[in-house]
């Protein structure tokens, strides 16, 4: 999808890209001076944009006194909807917790080098 297709969160994808260092964009084969809203870019940059926007939204929520818990690289082992909220159990050795709202982001799971086969080609580049 081109840059144009993504809605504004804190800032637009194009605005975020324009704030990045030219050297960072260049590592992904993108020239800062040629950015435009109909451009197709590597998905890894989109992931960085979404992560940055997410962290900014979390920061805004906390500043407004919302209790926000973020668990990264955490496997959810059980999820139950209860009258009290959403109960989550994880592989982190923590007791189960109940939340008013839970957002589960599945992310990407790449195979270990030993698991890769001659016929499996993970796509880590441009969409």
Q: What is the average pLDDT across 9-36?
A: 94
Q: What is the average pLDDT across 26-31?
A: 96
On the question of pLDDT at 127 being above 50, the answer is no
End-to-end, the C-alpha distance of the chain in Å comes to 8
CB 51 within 8 A of CB 13: no
On the question of pLDDT at 114 being above 70, the answer is no
On the question of pLDDT at 49 being above 50, the answer is yes
Distance CA 42, CA 31 (A): 12
Choose between 117 and 68: higher pLDDT: 68
Q: Report residue 102 CA to chain centroid gap.
A: 15
Q: Which of 7-11, 28-32, 47-51 has the lowest mean pLDDT?
A: 7-11
CB 93 within 8 A of CB 74: no
* pLDDT of 24: 97
């Amino acid at each position: 999808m081109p840059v144009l297709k993504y809605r504004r969160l804190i800032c637009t994808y194009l605005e975020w890209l324009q704030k990045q260092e030219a050297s960072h964009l260049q590592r992904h084969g993108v020239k800062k001076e040629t950015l435009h809203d109909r451009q197709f870019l590597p998905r890894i940059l989109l992931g960085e944009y979404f992560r940055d926007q997410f962290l900014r939204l979390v920061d805004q929520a906390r500043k407004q006194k919302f209790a926000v818990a973020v668990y990264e690289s955490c496997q959810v082992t059980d999820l139950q909807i209860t009258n009290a909220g959403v109960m989550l159990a994880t592989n982190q050795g923590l007791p189960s917790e109940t939340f008013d709202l839970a957002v589960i982001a599945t992310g990407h799971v790449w195979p270990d080098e030993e698991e890769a086969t001659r016929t499996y080609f993970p796509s880590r580049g441009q969409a």
